[in-house]
């Protein structure tokens, strides 16, 4: 999904993320503990989808910092304009007769949507349709900040507990049990400690699927491939398909030449 924001909103957050996500998470956790928002013994769960900040080059850190500034700017702009809407409704005596419905996904996952030939096709498609990922224009009209999708995940809540599954390629594809009140960071899986509760909630989830005719996610489902297939179905571009196909054939040809050369050396 593209993430964009008016430049003045992005500018407010430039430099605020230069320290990286790891230290920022730690600092925010300590602030939340001090404010009593979370229990004092709350731990941060590891995030498998996020790279080690220190493993990035200086240029990559600079780019990632601005990506986060753009995302923060977008949320800030959204908050500002929702506030304008609320003020208007109050000023025109429509506020008490208005129902607000806010929908959202679970936020950004720091993953690349696709790799290899599929990624090449999408990047070429963006480039030929007026999009770019340049640092200078990041977050402005026509730029594209890629946030990996998280389709195919599921959860069920009961009291203070939650069962959840995060499917691949980011998650492990296994169901887990957490107490989200005492462990809001979801760092301690209670599935083995509380097998009866886990089995009970799993059965309730299966009942929910049956009663509401929820279709299960197929085995081997990969949202990245689905994104690529969607693009091909809805935005077919013969030139781009030919370029990617040619790129794939070139790789196969080079691999064949390499294998042939190795065999010749061995037979000589």
Task: With respect to residue 109, please indicate whether it lies within any of the assigned structural domains.
Answer: no
Range 130-136, long-range pairs (CB < 8 A, 24+ positions): 131/2, 135/62, 135/63, 135/66
Same domain for 143 and 158, yes or no, is no
**Which residues of the chain are under the pLDDT cut of 50?**
108-111, 149
Alpha carbon distance 224, 219 (integer Å): 14
Task: With respect to residue 1, please indicate whether it lies within any of the assigned structural domains.
Answer: no
- Residue 171 DSSP code: S
- Here the tokens at position 263 are 């065999």
Alpha carbon distance 144, 133 (integer Å): 5
Same domain for 190 and 235, yes or no, is no
Same domain for 135 and 227, yes or no, is yes
Alpha carbon distance 209, 202 (integer Å): 11
Half-sphere exposure of 228 (CA within 13 A, CB side): 21
Same domain for 239 and 128, yes or no, is yes
Same domain for 119 and 252, yes or no, is yes
Same domain for 143 and 159, yes or no, is no
Same domain for 266 and 141, yes or no, is yes
Which domain CATH number covers 206? 3.30.1120.10
pLDDT tens-digit series, residues 51-63: 889 999 999 999 9
The DSSP bridge partners found for residue 154 are 165
Out of 211, 236, 254, a domain closes at 211
Backbone dihedral angles phi then psi of residue 44, each to the nearest 5 degrees: -85, 130
Same domain for 234 and 139, yes or no, is yes
Q: How far is CA 25 from CA 30, 43, 80, 184, 196, in A?
A: 9, 11, 25, 13, 33
Task: With respect to residue 108, please indicate whether it lies within any of the assigned structural domains.
Answer: no
Q: Give the domain range for residue 70.
A: 7-103
The pLDDT assigned to 110 comes to: 45
Alpha carbon distance 141, 129 (integer Å): 12
Same domain for 17 and 93, yes or no, is yes
Task: With respect to residue 73, please indicate whether it lies within any of the assigned structural domains.
Answer: yes
Same domain for 191 and 79, yes or no, is no
Alpha carbon distance 163, 154 (integer Å): 8
pLDDT tens-digit series, residues 138-156: 888 877 665 554 556 889 9
DSSP string over 244-258: HHHHHHHHHHHHHHH
Q: Which one, of 181, 169, 176, lies nearest residue 223 by Cα? A: 169
- Here the tokens at position 142 are 């026509």
Task: With respect to residue 206, please indicate whether it lies within any of the assigned structural domains.
Answer: yes
Task: With respect to residue 2, please indicate whether it lies within any of the assigned structural domains.
Answer: no
Q: Which residue shows structure tokens 């979370």? A: 38
The pLDDT assigned to 207 comes to: 96
Task: With respect to residue 173, please indicate whether it lies within any of the assigned structural domains.
Answer: yes
Same domain for 245 and 163, yes or no, is no
Out of 35, 68, 103, a domain closes at 103
The DSSP bridge partners found for residue 178 are 162
Task: With respect to residue 198, please indicate whether it lies within any of the assigned structural domains.
Answer: yes
Same domain for 161 and 230, yes or no, is no
Total count of domains within the chain: 3
């Amino acid at each position: 999904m593209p993430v964009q924001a008016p430049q003045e909103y992005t500018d407010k957050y430039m430099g605020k993320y230069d320290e990286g996500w790891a230290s920022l998470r730690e600092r925010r956790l300590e602030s939340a503990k001090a404010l009593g928002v979370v229990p004092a013994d709350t731990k941060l769960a590891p995030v498998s989808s996020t790279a080690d900040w220190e493993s990035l080059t200086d240029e990559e850190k600079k780019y990632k910092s601005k990506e986060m500034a753009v995302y923060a700017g977008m949320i800030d702009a959204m908050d500002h304009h929702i506030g304008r809407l609320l003020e208007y409704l109050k000023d025109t005596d429509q506020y008490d007769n208005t129902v607000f419905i806010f929908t959202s996904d679970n936020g950004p996952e720091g993953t690349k949507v696709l790799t290899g030939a599929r990624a090449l096709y999408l990047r070429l498609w963006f480039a030929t349709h007026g999009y770019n990922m340049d640092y200078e224009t990041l977050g402005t009209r026509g730029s594209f900040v890629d946030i990996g999708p998280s389709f195919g995940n599921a959860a069920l809540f009961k009291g203070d507990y939650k069962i959840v599954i995060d499917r691949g390629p980011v998650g492990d594809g296994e169901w887990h049990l957490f107490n989200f009140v005492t462990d809001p960071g979801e760092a301690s899986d209670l599935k083995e400690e509380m097998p009866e509760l886990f089995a009970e909630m799993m059965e309730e989830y299966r009942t929910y699927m049956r009663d509401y005719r929820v279709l299960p996610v197929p085995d081997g489902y990969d949202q990245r491939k689905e994104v690529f297939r969607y693009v091909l179905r809805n935005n077919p571009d013969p030139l781009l398909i030919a370029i990617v196909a040619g790129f794939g054939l070139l790789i196969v040809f080079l691999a064949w030449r390499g294998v042939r050369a190795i065999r010749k050396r061995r037979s000589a």
